[in-house]
C-alpha cells in the first residue's frame, strides 16, 4: 500500500513515482514510464554541502571633502548647451558669522549619481561572477574540471522568456533508456549534458537496476540520435548518477547556476521526457526552498534531499532532467513528486508539487564521482526517528560509541532543535540540515535534554557510498 502524502509541511510529502509494470508498458514505438528502484539502505545521516551566499559589492565611498564653489562662466561667450553667460547675482551684504558654501550645479550631481549607479551594477555583476568562479575553483580538486563547466547565463535578464529558455536548453537535455528487470528500455528518464567531457547527469533511480545488472543504458538527444552510455558512479543517498557518453561531447553542456541565489516566486522551466514524451517543456515558479523531503518509496529509505519545490509539472520520466531559471541556468535536478493517490499502478501524476535536487549539491556530488567513482557524505554517527508523530525536534534514538555525535556530547533521547542556524522539527529535517554541510566541518547542535537546552559542537565525519 502506498502512503498518502501528508499535509504538514514539516513532514515529507513526496514519493517516487512507482516503476512501470507490465500493464503500464506502452505499445511499441512509445516510451515506457520512468522506473523507480529501491537502492541500498543506509541508516547514517548525511549533509548537503554548504551553499555560499551571494557576494554583494559595496557601494562606492562618498567623497567627504567640501566642494568648492563653481567658477562663473567666462565672459563674452556661451557654455555648451546654454544661450549665453548667466548674469551674476547682486552681491549680498556680508555677514560676519556666516559660513561661505559653494553650490554644486545640478548636472554634476546627475553625473555623480549615474556613475554611482553604474559602479553598483557592475560591482554586483562582478560579485556574482566571482562567486561562480570561487564555487567552481573549490570543486577543482574534487574531480571537476572548471574549464569543462559552463556557468555564464546564456540569456540576458531582459531577454528572458520560456520560449528562449526552451530553445537554449533542449539541445543540452537528453532522454535516457535503461534496462529494468532484464527488459531493455523498460526504464526511462531524463538527463542533461553536464560538461564538455562527455558526461551526463541523471537520477540514480533511473539507472540503478541497469547498473547493478550490468544492463544496457542509452541516451537520446533532441534530434533522436542514440548513444551508448556507461555509469561512472552513482549515489543512492543523493539520488544522483553520472554517465559517461563520449559522443555527446559535440553537444553544448547546460549552464549551471547556483541554488543560493534562488528566490521564492521566480519563474522556472522543467525540461525532460515525461511518460516517454521526449523534449517536453513545462513552466512554473519556485514554490518553496529548503524543503526536507524523502525521495524513496519507503519510509526507511535514506535518500533525503533539501529540495527546491516547484509547481512546474513533473511526471514519471522527468526524473533526472533539469529545472532551469529564466536566464537559462540549471538550478536543480527534477527528482520527486507529491501525488494525491494513484496507488502502485502509476496512475498518479503531477498535482503541482514537484521537487528538485539543488544544483549546488549536484556539483559537489558529481565532482566526487568524477574523481573516485563514488560519492562521499558527512555523518554524525547517530540514528534519528524519522517517523515520530510530533514535531518538537528530531528525537535521537541511538548514539554510536566512538562516533562524532558521542564525542560532541549527544546522548540517546536528546531532541535536536537546531543544526547550525537551521531550525529542526523532525528527523528528516535534521538529516537534510546536516547534509547542508561538508565532512570535516564543526557544526553547532542545539538539543533539549530533560527540559534544559544545550549547545553542542560536533565535527562531522565522512562516509563513502559503496554501490555495485
**pLDDT tens-digit profile of 2-20?**
343 443 433 434 444 334 4
Question: Domain 172-244 belongs to what topology?
Answer: Thrombin, subunit H (2.40.10)
Whether domain 266-339+350-371 has CATH 2.40.10.10:
yes
CATH 2.40.10.10 range(s) for the chain read 172-244, 266-339+350-371
**Portions of the chain given CATH number 2.30.42.10:** 376-464
Segment of 80-84, 113-117, 437-441 carrying the highest mean pLDDT: 437-441
Please tell me the least confidently modeled range out of 81-85, 89-93, 422-426: 81-85
Torsion sign (Cα): 181, 183, 189, 190: positive
Angle in degrees, CA 132, 133, 136, rounded to 5: 85
- The predicted-structure confidence for 271-326, as pLDDT tens digits, reads as follows 999 999 999 999 999 999 999 887 654 333 567 888 999 999 999 999 999 999 99
Note the Cα 197 to chain centre separation in Å: 22
Kindly indicate the confidence band of residue 142, based on its pLDDT and cuts at 50, 70 and 90: low
- What is the rounded average pLDDT for all residues in the chain? 77
Q: What are 182-204's pLDDT values in tens digits?
A: 999 999 999 999 999 999 999 99
pLDDT digit string (tens) for 230-241? Answer: 999 999 999 999
Q: What are the pLDDT digits (tens) for 48-87?
A: 333 334 444 444 444 444 444 444 444 444 334 334 444 4
Percent of the chain with pLDDT over 70: 65
CATH architecture of the domain 376-464 equals Roll (2.30)
Residue 294 is predicted with a pLDDT of 76
Q: What is the pLDDT of residue 111?
A: 54
Phi and psi torsions of 434, nearest 5°: -65, -40
How high is the pLDDT of residue 27? 46
* Residue bearing the bigger pLDDT, 27 or 190: 190
- Report pLDDT for 132: 52
pLDDT in the model for residue 91: 52
- Average pLDDT (428-447) is 93
Looking up cell 533542449 gives 170
Long-range contacts of 229-233 (CB under 8 A, 24+ apart): 229/176, 229/200, 231/207, 232/199, 232/369, 232/370, 232/373, 233/368, 233/369, 233/370, 233/372, 233/373, 233/374, 233/375, 233/467
Q: Could you give the residue numbers annotated as active site?
A: 205, 239, 319
Amino acid at each position: 500500500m502506498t502512503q498518502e502524502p501528508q499535509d504538514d509541511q514539516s513532514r515529507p510529502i513526496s514519493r517516487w513515482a512507482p516503476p512501470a509494470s507490465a500493464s503500464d508498458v506502452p505499445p511499441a514505438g512509445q516510451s515506457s514510464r520512468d522506473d523507480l528502484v529501491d537502492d541500498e539502505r543506509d541508516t547514517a545521516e548525511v549533509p548537503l554541502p554548504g551553499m555560499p551566499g551571494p557576494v554583494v559589492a559595496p557601494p562606492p565611498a562618498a567623497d567627504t571633502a567640501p566642494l568648492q564653489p563653481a567658477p562663473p562662466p567666462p565672459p563674452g561667450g556661451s557654455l555648451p548647451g546654454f544661450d549665453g553667460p548667466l548674469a551674476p547675482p547682486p552681491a549680498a551684504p556680508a555677514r560676519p558669522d556666516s559660513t561661505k558654501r559653494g553650490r554644486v550645479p545640478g548636472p554634476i550631481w546627475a553625473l555623480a549619481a549615474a556613475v554611482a549607479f553604474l559602479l553598483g551594477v557592475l560591482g554586483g555583476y562582478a560579485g556574482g561572477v566571482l562567486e561562480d568562479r570561487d564555487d567552481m575553483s573549490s570543486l577543482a580538486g574534487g574531480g571537476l574540471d572548471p574549464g569543462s563547466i559552463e556557468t555564464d547565463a546564456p540569456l540576458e535578464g531582459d531577454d528572458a522568456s520560456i520560449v528562449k529558455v526552451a530553445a537554449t536548453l533542449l539541445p543540452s537535455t537528453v532522454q535516457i533508456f535503461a534496462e529494468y528487470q532484464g527488459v531493455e528500455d523498460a526504464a526511462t528518464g531524463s538527463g542533461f549534458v553536464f560538461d564538455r567531457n562527455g558526461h551526463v547527469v541523471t537520477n540514480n533511480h533511473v539507472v540503478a537496476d541497469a547498473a547493478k545488472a550490468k544492463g544496457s543504458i542509452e541516451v537520446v538527444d533532441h534530434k533522436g540520435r542514440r548513444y551508448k552510455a556507461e555509469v561512472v558512479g552513482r549515489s543512492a543517498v543523493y539520488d544522483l548518477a553520472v554517465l559517461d557518453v563520449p559522443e555527446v561531447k559535440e553537444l553544448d553542456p547546460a549552464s549551471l547556476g547556483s541554488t543560493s541565489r534562488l528566490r521564492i516566486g521566480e519563474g522556472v522551466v522543467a525540461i525532460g521526457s515525461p511518460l516517454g514524451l521526449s523534449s517536453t517543456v513545462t513552466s512554473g515558479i519556485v514554490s518553496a526552498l529548503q524543503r526536507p523531503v524523502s525521495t524513496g518509496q519507503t519510509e526507511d529509505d535514506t535518500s533525503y534531499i533539501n529540495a527546491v519545490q516547484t509547481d512546474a509539472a513533473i511526471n514519471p520520466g522527468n526524473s533526472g532532467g533539469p529545472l532551469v531559471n529564466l536566464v537559462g541556468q540549471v538550478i536543480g535536478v527534477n527528482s520527486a513528486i507529491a501525488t494525491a493517490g494513484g496507488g502502485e499502478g502509476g496512475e498518479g501524476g503531477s498535482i503541482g508539487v514537484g521537487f528538485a535536487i539543488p544544483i549546488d549539491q549536484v556539483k559537489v556530488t558529481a565532482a566526487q564521482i568524477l574523481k573516485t567513482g563514488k560519492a562521499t557524505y558527512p555523518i554524525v554517527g547517530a540514528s534519528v526517528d524519522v517517523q515520530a508523530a510530533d514535531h518538537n525536534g528530531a528525537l535521537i534514538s541511538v548514539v554510536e560509541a566512538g562516533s562524532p555525535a558521542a564525542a560532541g556530547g549527544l546522548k540517546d533521547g536528546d531532541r535536536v532543535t537546531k543544526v547550525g542556524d537551521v531550525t529542526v522539527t523532525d528527523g528528516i529535517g535534521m538529516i537534510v540540515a546536516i547534509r547542508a554541510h561538508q565532512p570535516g566541518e564543526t557544526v553547532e547542535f542545539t538539543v533539549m535534554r530533560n527540559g534544559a537546552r544545550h549547545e553542542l559542537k560536533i565535527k562531522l565525519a565522512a562516509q563513502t557510498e559503496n554501490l555495485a
